[in-house]
Structure 1
Amino acid sequence: MLIDGRGRILIGRRLDTPGEAWQMPQGGIDESETPEQAAWREMREEVGTDKAELLGTTREWVRYDLPPDLAGRLWGGAYRGQEQKWFAFRFTGQDSDIDIARYEPEFAEWRWIDPAELLRIIVPFKRELYARVIEELSPFIALCRDGRAKASARPEAPTGDRRSGAGRA
């Protein structure tokens, strides 16, 4: 989760899905990576920047299941859903530093969005997951919004298990 100085979250509209399929950047974990390393790599690949400060992570892995009609089509039918570890990052750059076309683009466009609005526009099968992630990472969203997101101002929140990945199918 990349958070700007107004407490908004970066989302992208997926290239591979017709319509308004918006989501936060996310991705898998390479075999040799820690969860934190995977989160940084995915930010560079999907957002085109690493101008950010890591603030914290969810305590536990969170899971979502794909609806049955999608489970057979996505990922070659090999997975039914994903289990993910989410990281909160404070964006330290300018909007011009974001380049979603830098690598292999996954998003057609991007924007900053209020967390409550995100829950209204996200695909239904991810709403519960996103609500849980937003709730758990809300202290970091508040820090960014209030302009206090510096290493010395971090809330007391767990940093999670850094030996596992950012997302696993």
Structure 2
Amino acid sequence: MVKILGIKLNTEPKTEILNRIRSWLSSPRQHYIVTPNPEIVLLAQKDEEYFYILNHADISLPDGIGLKFAALTLGKNIPRITGSDLTQDILIMAQESQDPILIINWEKGLSSANDISVALENIYPRLQFEIWDVDRAEALKPDWKPRATIAKIMFAALGAPYQEKFIFHQLAKIPTVKVALGIGGSFDFLTHKIKRAPKLMRRLGLEWLYRVISQPINRKKRLKRIYNATCVFVVKVINWRFILPFKYRPNVACLLYKIENNQSQILLVERTEEPGHFQLPQGGTDGLSLKAAAIKELGEELNSGKFTVKAVFQNLYRYKIDPKKNGYNRAAGYQGQKQGLVIAEFNGQDSDIRINFWDHSSYKWVPADKLIDESHPVRREGYKIYLKKLKSII
């Protein structure tokens, strides 16, 4: 396993991956596979839910020469396994084992259900399959309901990030499926809506470039995608690998309190990745002022804007990040964080708080005099400073 910009990638050869998939078909548990490319990795930097979903896949395969080069900066030579190749390998496997497949197809994609059906019948005549054309926005809604199916393998051809989010949120509603994977436009090659890159480009790892050039999108969008997958990604990787390890990430801690029975109660949240690790809501400032960053962070983590900022304190505490315990943390790459503090008063009800599953698993209110004891040990030194600031304003 290797991480590129915080995204986990498997390093096993394709034969081992296929053997694992084959064994999962008789497993009682459901599994899902993702195939990140540089564009997807960049997208995950701006979408915390997507970041979480990618990192919780059972298999994450590097699809793109950019990821292979990025891994080389870590001294890792990882195999490149494209989603298109994996799709065809699994289709062959399913035909041989007679395991039925289900294709979740974007109704506005290049290939219609009929196009895919004709192609599969010609190429894999003994394959058992069914195809559902869906509106990808509707398919992500909590009340989405699937039809009855006996499929054991599911391909989601909805494009990123829709297909991965669909699998994560809706797979449990299709209990017969044991293996699900997001494959983007892989079926467009089988239907000949898009020609596959010449073998030389594939060997050089430039299939993504050929695919972008071939897609029927406007020139401006095409150039933007090429720019992101090359220039932006390369700069991000160089910065992440060789510059950030010497820097501290600007960060804001959000001390949210309420007054009950003349006593201050402070909100603590439990990290999803570390059960029992309670802390104040916090996050990177990402170029914003401390106040703006705190408002954004509380809004995103609690899904509530029912608070009033009371005070802002710059540069109160600095700490290093333990790389072995960093877990799900987009600050990965920095040697540590330099933290300011924003104190805000909560003026809503507990029912107004809806924490995001990718950030936190629970929350609790604790008396101010119990904050240190109730917080994770690594947080306590900084929180002693923050408590003094709270007492100075209330």
CA offset at residue 25 of structure 1? Answer: 0.5
Q: Distance in 2 between matches of 1:38 and 1:59?
A: 12
Matches of 2:280 and 2:377 in 1, distance apart? Answer: 14
Say if 2:262 is the partner of 1:5.
Answer: no
Structure 1 residue aligned with 2:334: 79
Of residues 40-49 and 79-88 in structure 1, the stretch that sits farther from structure 2 once superposed is 79-88
* 1:26 paired to 2:282: yes
1:38 to 278, 281, 293: 293
Q: Please state whether the residue corresponding to 1:128 is helix, strand or coil.
A: helix
C-alpha contact 2:257 2:345 (8 A) present in aligned 1: yes
Alignment of 1:57 onto 2:312: yes
Secondary structure at the aligned position of 1:136 is classed as: helix
Q: TM-score, normalised by structure 1?
A: 0.71
Contact persistence 2:273–2:327 (CA under 8 A): no
CA distance in 2, matches of 1:138, 1:89: 13
Partner residue in 2 for 1:120 = 373
CA contact (8 A) 1:58 1:137 kept: no
Look up the match of 2:348: 93
What is the TM-score when the length of structure 2 is the normalising length?
0.32
Q: Looking at secondary structure, tell me which structure has more helix per residue.
A: 2
Q: Relative contact order: is structure 1 or structure 2 higher (C-alpha 8 Å, sep ≥ 6)?
A: 1
Offset, 1:105: 3.5
Partner of 2:85: none
Structure 2 residue aligned with 1:165: none
TM-superposition CA deviations, 1:88-116 (whole Å, max 9, x none): 10111111111113xx6311111111123
Aligned to 1:164: none
CA 57–20 in structure 1, closer or farther in 2 if over 3 Å, else same: same
Q: Does the CA contact (< 8 Å) of 2:309 and 2:344 recur in 1?
A: yes
- Give the 3 Å change call, closer, same or farther, for CA 59–78 of structure 1 in structure 2: closer
CA RMSD of aligned residues (A): 2.3
1:59 and 1:73 mapped to 2: Cα distance? 26
* Separation of aligned partners in 1, 2:327 and 2:307: 36
Cross-structure match for 1:132: 385
User: Structure 1: which 4+ aligned runs deviate by more than 4 Å?
Assistant: 71-77
Q: Kindly state the Cα deviation for residue 136 of structure 1 after the two structures are TM-superposed.
A: 1.6
Cα shift at 1:2? 0.7
Summarize deviations over 1:59-100 as a string: whole Å, max 9, x none: 543212234743699657512221111111011111111111
Higher Rg of the two aligned structures: 2
Inter-CA distance 27–76: structure 2 relative to 1 (3 Å threshold) = closer
Q: Give the direction of change, closer, same or farther, for the CA distance of 1:92–1:71 in structure 2 (3 Å limit).
A: closer
Cα 1:72/1:46, change in 2 over 3 Å? closer
Q: Could you say what secondary structure the match of 2:283 adopts? A: coil
Native 8 Å contact 1:25 1:43 kept in 2: yes
Please give the alpha-carbon distance, in whole angstroms, between the structure 2 residues aligned to 1:45 and 1:119.
Answer: 25
